[in-house]
Chains A and B, each alone.
Chain A
């Protein structure tokens, strides 16, 4: 097979789209097993209440009901584990109260599951759940992030002041000294609005126990099935890990919310053996709102010290982060490791200190959501930089330029070392693409129509390619963060790749196939990517943190290189040459300086039909595994420019232009990357303009459906101008890839808000809180007029 390489760098159409577009994908809810039973969870209507008694008699007797379980039945089952341990400044470990599978003694947020009903149908399970009588002693709830630590009410007895930990990073004394000598200090207080993820496919699970093999199979909407298996088997249910197979089939979006081990799927696995039937649960949208891990929710004060030339001297940050009612799987690392370490941004700020107080509240758990900590850091930094520019009367672009990091590698004062980057390049190109020169004329035209026009910038950086396991371990990770891959070359030279990364919309089946096809010099259609099944894939840490190509792809490259290395040995034998004389390129092994050649397929066939083969020194077969643990994070960066038009009468904002110029290192499939940026921008603009999770003072979720929770729609968004610069390839992974999945959601919120503030600054507006809804802007303008 002659190769059409290189595939890398080409916008190859997505291999997976045929099945998605024709509706022939297989999602968890599509799977119906023989003797299928269905589950419904009874959820707390109260934010905070003691459970006096639960009467399940009527539910148990209801038609079709097979079983009803409460916490009492789960006695001896562990709580859901937290995958990250953070220590407070005083050295004490974070408060880690039990996260029970079904509520024990108390319910702690609206939607907290406290009983599981299994029935012949989902309808019967739901009807029976309504018959469960719970005697609640309703308690006052803790809802507000900022005041949780001073509440008289405790969500957990283990944390009487609701503080999970108070963590810090950076040299506080050096920061204080820098502030005392500063020519100017800019201060900024804000809330990073809480978001509800809303993947298009709700969470779902289907658990089956086989008495024949004494083993379990769980189909589940997961971004990381091996992690789910490990945590669920070893830490909660006590099932031997090899007796639990977790399959995450086609998954309709995750955005972080499907990383975690949740109560529902855990309860289903446990109950499947008790009931002796496979049990399926598919969340209703209302349940998704109440029970999927939410994102963001920080309340922050930041101060930036500058010298007389506008050079940043120091940054001081104090954040309170809402953990919700229980610690979700990776919750503690989001406002700490993934937030505070990014506070240098693209700037050579010499001293940074960040304190993070994490609090429990009677709200749904909060964990990583597209960007995870990095959007919070970027928002803080890119807003305060523009505020400082405005206060100093400097052009915000010029102020950024004065402070850019220009020499690499660069060690930040908050623990990271950027390997490479060129921030001027993305800035310069973004300014061109956004036609910043023409802005003044466009502003005048808007003003003539009674509208206000503004332009805003954001120069973001993110740490992706999570993560070097040893560094993560020092920072509190309770897991490794490598990735695994297996390349199985078939006798005909076709290749099946098993990857520990999981695709739930990212297009791995295409991108990874491009990488392998190039590496082995074979055709794209000769490569198949398998993922999402612990029964097939050797191991995997999954997909999140924009890590799949940089880490998962690198593992695949490593395995491919092992294939080539063994192939050279086989080819050398076949070609009767020394191994050192055999070269591999474009799908063929050649003896240097001769016309003697063996194709990849011929070598593969020889490996499986080893008649003429060095059996005494080499095993037959052509199959290799690799584990790749990154040497460092990767650091994608870029500049986003947003131009808005605001109607000061109604407060309505229209995004007129949005330009994103990114440096993702090497790009495998530009079309897929562009799509990732588009999706990220939509989510970031959603946060900036539309999305906000509201709990009232009773802890009731006011935005529990799409009637009140505003997701971005296509007509809320402009045509994006997206370009990936040639860039600075990552220096430490074989693909030179940095990751592109979250950038859009990280860089866009401050660009949008900066643009709105720029538009309304002539009316006296200094800050606008997210989301900048028409109502919010009207209130802001009213306040500015007073």
Chain B
């Protein structure tokens, strides 16, 4: 029978030490991906390092134009936070739209980002907002964080501690949920800060990505019409029973236009 050690460290440093000492161990944040994987036998780690007892990983802080969200902050806490709602309402809405109430009360922002699920919502926010992901070792810009399917720049023993989101002038997130899981079949997060616009797409490919052509067009003029004529090739996009690559390619500009309209309020 499977044997599984369980650790409950009280500091990020201790958690990182435990993780560094056991390459087969897994960090347990909200458990919304790991626990189902364990139940289905898809994952057999040597140990779980539960991060729930580390106060320094929780909390939301707004300082100047930077919103800092602790890695272990739940989706529900992000959704309800007055700081988030006042500074980046699109992020609060994103959190509010994740899973169901139970998932939002357990699942964490950091857990979602560190997992880099291709259909998760948070990676789109982090990438479009140009977040900085703080770890026990270094700050990692979002552009360098997401490496591929369930793959990030995090090294063994490195623990995500907090995300710093620069507060944009405008932002919006629109997703078309996969009907069963309600993960994003395609989700588009866009943010305008000063003259710059960033557009990030989740759900459509093995890893969240930016659409530079849209960013440039929207930087010239931030309006839905600016996206006219910008199409995406289906090559490299995901295809499954819920949507072909062509459908996903079609959805990206459709949802991006809706997001621009929403950002303009």
Contact = CB atoms under 8 A, between A and B. Distances in A.
Interface stretch (B72-80, B85-93, B243-251): B243-251
B180 A702 contact: no
A694 B179 CA distance: 14
B1 A710 contact: no
A323 interface: no
Interface string B140-166: 000000000000000000000000000
B230 interface: no
B250 A778 contact: yes
A773 B177 CA distance: 11
A585 interface: no
Given A127-B1, A774-B179, A694 B241 contact: yes
A711 B244 CA distance: 21
Contacts of B181: 706-708
B180 A779 contact: no
Contacts of B242: 708, 773, 775
Interface string B246-261: 0100110011000000
B40 interface: yes
A650 interface: yes
Contacts of A706: 180-181
Contacts of B255: 650
A690 B179 contact: yes
A8 to B, nearest CB: 39
A709 B180 contact: yes
B247 A708 contact: no
Given A708-B241, A775-B247, A778-B250, A650 B179 contact: no
A328 B265 CA distance: 56
Contacts of A703: 180, 241
B244 A775 contact: yes
Interface in A694-717: 694, 702-703, 706-711
Interface string B166-185: 00000000001001110001
A12 B169 CA distance: 56
A702 B250 contact: no
A710 B179 contact: yes
A188 B251 CA distance: 31
A702 B242 CA distance: 11
A774 B176 contact: yes
A708 B40 contact: no
Contact of A773 (B179, B250, B254): B179
A708 B176 contact: no
Contacts of A123: 1
A716 B2 CA distance: 39
Contacts of A709: 180
A205 B181 CA distance: 30
Interface string B205-241: 0000000000000000000000000000000000001
Nearest to B253: A649
Contacts of A694: 241
A482 B108 CA distance: 56
Contacts, number: 45
Interface string A676-692: 00000000000001100
A779 B244 CA distance: 10
Contact of A650 (B1, B244, B254): B254
B250 A708 contact: no
A774 B1 CA distance: 43
A59 to B, nearest CB: 13
Nearest to B176: A650
A778 B247 contact: yes
Dominant SS among interface residues on chain A: loop
A690 B185 CA distance: 14
Contacts of B241: 694, 702-703, 708
A694 B241 CA distance: 8
A694 B243 CA distance: 14
Interface string B181-204: 100010000000000000000000
Interface string B57-87: 0000000000000000000000000000000
Contacts of B254: 649-650
B232 to A, nearest CB: 15
Interface string B96-138: 0000000000000000000000000000000000000000000
Contacts of A286: 40
A690 B242 CA distance: 11
A775 B180 contact: no
A652 B175 CA distance: 12
A529 B195 CA distance: 72
B5 to A, nearest CB: 18
Contacts of A708: 180-181, 241-242
A63 interface: yes
A265 interface: no
Interface string A99-130: 00000000000000000000000011001000
B97 to A, nearest CB: 11
B179 to A, nearest CB: 4
Given A63-B1, A123-B1, A649-B254, A707 B180 contact: yes
Interface string A614-656: 0000000000000000000000000000000000011010000
Residue of B179, B185, B242, B255 with most chain A CB atoms under a 10 A cut-off: B179
Contacts of B247: 775, 778-779
A124 B1 contact: yes
Nearest to A716: B179
Contact of A775 (B1, B40, B243): B243
Interface in A494-551: none
Nearest to A284: B39
Contacts of B1: 63, 123-124, 127
A257 B244 CA distance: 32
A127 B181 CA distance: 29
Contacts of A711: 180
B40 A650 contact: no
Contacts of A779: 247
B240 to A, nearest CB: 8
A778 B254 CA distance: 12
A703 B178 CA distance: 13
Contacts of B185: 774-775
Nearest to A708: B180
Contacts of B244: 775
A376 B255 CA distance: 36
A708 B182 CA distance: 10
Interface in B20-63: 40
A542 to B, nearest CB: 32
Nearest to A652: B176
Interface string A743-786: 00000000000000000000000000000011100110000000
Contacts of B179: 689-690, 710, 773-774
Nearest to A773: B179
A700 B181 CA distance: 19
A690 B182 CA distance: 12
Interface of B: 1-2, 40, 176, 179-181, 185, 241-244, 247, 250-251, 254-255
Given A649-B254, A710-B179, 20 more contacts: A123-B1, A286-B40, A650-B176, A652-B176, A690-B179, A706-B180, A706-B181, A707-B180, A707-B181, A708-B180, A708-B181, A708-B242, A709-B180, A711-B180, A774-B176, A774-B185, A774-B243, A775-B244, A778-B250, A779-B247
User: What 9 A-B pairs come out closest when comparing CB atoms?
Assistant: A710-B180, A710-B179, A775-B243, A649-B254, A707-B181, A127-B1, A708-B180, A690-B179, A775-B247
20 contacts: A123-B1, A649-B254, A650-B251, A652-B176, A689-B179, A690-B179, A690-B180, A694-B241, A702-B241, A703-B241, A708-B181, A710-B179, A710-B180, A773-B242, A774-B179, A775-B185, A775-B242, A775-B243, A775-B244, A778-B247
Interface of A: 63, 123-124, 127, 286, 649-650, 652, 689-690, 694, 702-703, 706-711, 773-775, 778-779
